Structure formats: structure tokens, C-alpha cells
Structure 1
């Protein structure tokens, strides 16, 4: 498709253009499209570039996106139809409409009320060093292992880290959300000098908020390999756990170098969907 205004600046801090964004997404489409296909997507659009006003779009608007698939409204009763990106055409259609970030649901079609993953987003407050964030991620991982749940890891592309737990798509979203909240509350109770279970900047000064709200009905998380609409255009990149000690920050990869990382292959382990039954029982018993 024809990309209009390809030379328009998107990120003044790096002089990256809309054409650069399109070239990046074309280069990593092989990694990004499997993250998008089969899941509703929310698009973060930045019509005037990074640092200016942005907005999320998860329903079709008046101007259609070329190649972006509009889903049956019956998939999410009581709401408007959702969007899905299945192909490179859809990816480029979203970029043409000034999309920078791609955020996905935790469930796949057609069972949007049955998540197939749980996301724990480590969101550091003011005064938190990178070493504290990496140690926090290890503590969350170990707590999940105690519940017999393995998790994958990725950078947020900003300041934090995301832990992703693949689960069998059997439990209603409200059950999964309650499990995530209870797990985070137990971690906050066990490590009050490190974690907090309540959102809000004032609540997490000197602490890490483990964002369990990513697991609610209709909630989304930035997809692996998505750019972030922030100065520098960081990228959310999958990691192997043994890479974490060598990482200097969650924005280690950007538009400028993430393609080379993608060319090395996906660092995520092939984790099979896991049963949540024993973990639910353990968390409920502790509560």
C-alpha cells in the first residue's frame, strides 16, 4: 500500500520518520503478527508524533483502516465491534493511520471470556533502580514457580518488565483476574519494602506496582515487538531469563536496533498452556 507523509518526523529525539516506523514493522512482521493474529487489538495512534497527543482505538472509526479486520460485535456483548490484525496489509494499514503501539487482549477468538495467559506488569515508582526491577521480576517468577506456573519475560519498552503466564483457556476472566490480584497482594504482603498492590503514582513511590489490572475484561498489554510512543521509540522485546542479569534497562532495544534482535530469533521458551487449578487452590487457601 502507499504510505503517505513517509518523511514526516515521528520522534523528534531521534529524527525517526513515519517511513522508518513502517520499515521497522515490515521487518519484524514475522515476529509481531503471531502476537496479533487471533486476538483483539487496541491501537495507540500518534497523529502528530511522540510527545504530542495520543489516543487508543479499539473499535472501527469513521475512517476505515486498510487491511485491519473488524470482528463480529457478538464476540464482546454490550460493546462495539473489535479490531484484529491478521496480515502485513493490516499492520501497514494501521501504520498509515499513525499507529505507533499495538496492544492485545489476553484471550483469543472466539472465547474472549476465557483468557489463555496472565500478565504481571512490573511498573516501578519514582526512585526505583533497574537492579530493583530485575530482582523484583525474579521474586515474582519464583512465587509463580511455587504455584507450579512457569512464565516468560519481556521488556516493556519503557521502564518495567512484563511476566507472561500461558494458561489453558478454561477459566472465566473474572476468576483469572481475581487470581492475579490475590497473587500480587500476597507478594506485596511478603515484600512490603519492595512491592505494592495498589495503582497510582503516590502509592508506588520507592516501590514497584505489580499491575494485575492487565487481566481484566477488555484489558490489553503492549505486544511483544511493538514500538512504544515515547522519546527514543523503545521496543517491547522477549527475553530469556538468563539474559536478565546482563540487561541495563527495559528500553535496551529501540527502533534503531530491535530489528537485529528480531533477526536472532525469538527468545521466549515454548511454554505449553498450564492448568490453573492447583494455583487457584493454593492462593485461595492462603487468602
Structure 2
């Protein structure tokens, strides 16, 4: 029996590959009426820039078998029947467990992922050959209720200055929603905890400079109407939507790299799977040369040490992480009381209040 499918020719470094797309008319984004085939063609159009940004990295696939309004789940290891141009590398998760994780090396692999109903791609900040040592410092500026993208813009510019003072060159992209992602290329010589501490140091410096606009408070009840600097995105196995990755939001937005001169007047709703191919053709990829001159986190770690000596220390980890050395108690501030806090926990937390 004939099946509803279409075969796409996908150019790449090893020549053209034929990738079969089943159920091509399945609607993924009901509002604009965009289909699985539309997404596959988008991945072909942006393939070179997409792989440059997200390839050769462990990646998690956020899959939506019935469209963005339906069931979703994450895939980390290659499913059975994956083509031979899709590979995996072993990575270590926060639990200490090791497991193979997908790696995409060419546009055909990204189109194959679309065939597997992937909408959002979540790459690690480290390379496949050295997954324990990030080559990107990543900072997520996350607008809290009462704030939005426009509020994130001045924080991003100030963060750029903070990183420059630490010897790092910052790159910026929309999150695909209301936030802003700031990246800096770094030499892959420090493991995740060190890079996390570097991010916390930069976040605290930004908070000092913009105390009414920026917060590092982990607990939502303490953030107020500020920009949260989500330092926990720097942890092992914590990822954000990759550059040029679509997002599972109604208007089919894309996490779009920008030049710093574009950020001030940008509207994240303008960057969708319908508009990005023409944008790449017109203005090119602002992240094309990101990794030509990586920096180090050495200065930021000096700032971290300075802050520790001044009484600031570790910040909370995500709840699914094992308890980490020096971490303050995982107790919501409004729930702090004698019954759930022993004396040692109070002593440790005192330096963070």
C-alpha cells in the first residue's frame, strides 16, 4: 500500500542524501498552518548555519509526534533505525551515569531529526570529542512576570561589557520567546562546575551594576519584576534551544542569532521558520566566526574567588541534581522554619541572605 511520504534531497559535506519525510502534511503549528514538510524544508534552507552552531555537540531532541499542542518528549540517544550518518558519543550525566547521546554532523541529520518529529534542538555547550569541558559560556536572561524582551535588551548590553572586562567576546541571540541568550566562546579546558562558577561571577557582577533590573535569586518568590540570570543553564546536561532551532510556540519562532547592532530594535516575533532563510541569504550568519578567537574563564574565576572570600558562595542547583558541596539548603525562603532547618543549615544559609 502506498504511504503518504516525500523524499527530500539534502545537500551536505558528503554530497546529497535522500531523506524520507513521512506524514509530510501533518500540521505542527496550527496558527500559521505549518507542516512537518515545511519544517524539513526550513532545515535544508538553514542547514549550513544550523550545523555550524549545533553540530559536533551532544544534542537532545524535543519531539512532538502530534504537533506543538500535543504530547512531547525528549530523545537523547539514537533510536533504532537511525541512519549511518547520525552518530552518538558517551556523555556523563549529573548522576554520574554514562550514556550515548545523539550528535548531528550534517544537514541531513537535522532533517532526519525532523522526520522523527523533532521541533526543538537542545545542544550541549561542549563538543562531542570533549563533552566534559564546555567551549561555550552561556547565560540565559530570563524575563520574569511583568517584564519582557525589551527589558532584557539593556541587561544584555551591560552583560556584554561585563564579559568584555573579563576578556571574553559576547555573542547574542533571541531565545525564540521573551528572553535573550548571551554566549561567549571559551577554550575547552575547564569542566562544567568551573564554568558554572564563572557564569555566577558574571551574573553577580551584572546584578551589582543593575540591582533594580537584574537578579540572581533562584527562588521565584524573591525575583520580583526583574531579569533573572539563569546560571543553572551552565550545568552539565542543562541546555537551551540552539541557534536557528525552532520553538514550540504558536507562531513558529526561531532562536535567532543577531548582530549587537540589531538587538536594540529587534522584535523576537519577527524571526520564524518563514523568515529566517531569507534573513540568512540577506545578512548572513552573525555567529559564523564565533569560535575563531576563544577566551578563557580565568578572570571570571578570579571574581568568583573574590566573592567567596567576601562571604558569597555556592548557589542552589536544580532539584534533580545530587546535593552539591557548599550548596545552600534547598528550602524555599517562605518555608524556612525551625522544623525544617537544622542549625548547620541555618549557619550555611546565613552567608547567602
Is the pair's TM-score, using the shorter chain for normalization, greater than 0.5? yes
Q: Which runs of 5+ in 1 are unaligned?
A: none
Aligned-pair RMSD on alpha carbons? 2.0
Bigger radius of gyration, 1 or 2?
2
Given the alignment of the two structures, is residue 18 of structure 1 paired with residue 36 of structure 2, yes or no? yes
Q: Is the 8 A contact 1:68 1:84 kept in 2?
A: no
Alignment-derived partner of residue 73 in structure 1: 90
The one-character-per-residue Cα deviations of 1:124-165 (angstroms, maximum 9, x if unpaired) are: 011114331111111111111222222011111111111001
Summarize the alignment of residues 132-281 of structure 1 with structure 2, pairs less than 5 Å apart: 132-199=151-218, 201-247=220-266, 249-264=267-282, 265-268=284-287, 270-271=289-290, 272-281=293-302
Cα distance in 2, alignment partners of residues 93 and 139 from structure 1: 39
Cα distance in 1, alignment partners of residues 145 and 44 from structure 2: 36
Shift of 1:200: 5.3
Q: Is the 8 A contact 1:68 1:83 kept in 2?
A: no
Given the alignment of the two structures, is residue 120 of structure 1 paired with residue 139 of structure 2, yes or no? yes
The one-character-per-residue Cα deviations of 1:237-263 (angstroms, maximum 9, x if unpaired) are: 11111111221x223200111111121
Cα distance in 1, alignment partners of residues 62 and 91 from structure 2: 24
Q: Which runs of 5+ in 2 are unaligned?
A: 1-18, 309-353
Q: Is the 8 A contact 1:121 1:211 kept in 2?
A: yes
Alignment-derived partner of residue 56 in structure 1: 74
Q: Is the 8 A contact 2:77 2:88 kept in 1?
A: no
By relative contact order (CA 8 Å, sep 6+), the higher-ranking structure is: 1
Query: Hey, which bits of structure 1, 4+ residues long, moved more than 6 A?
Result: 74-77
How many residue pairs are counted as aligned between the two chains?
Answer: 285
Q: Is the 8 A contact 2:21 2:115 kept in 1?
A: yes
Alignment-derived partner of residue 30 in structure 1: 48
Q: Is the 8 A contact 2:89 2:128 kept in 1?
A: no
Shift of 1:54: 1.7
Q: With the length of structure 1 as denominator, give the TM-score of the two structures.
A: 0.92
Q: Is the 8 A contact 1:37 1:85 kept in 2?
A: yes
Which deviates more from structure 2 when the two are superposed, residues 164-173 or residues 200-209?
Answer: 200-209
The one-character-per-residue Cα deviations of 1:63-112 (angstroms, maximum 9, x if unpaired) are: 44335634243676622211111123211211111000111111112211
Q: With the length of structure 2 as denominator, give the TM-score of the two structures.
A: 0.76
Cα distance in 1, alignment partners of residues 262 and 121 from structure 2: 25
Q: Is the 8 A contact 1:65 1:94 kept in 2?
A: no
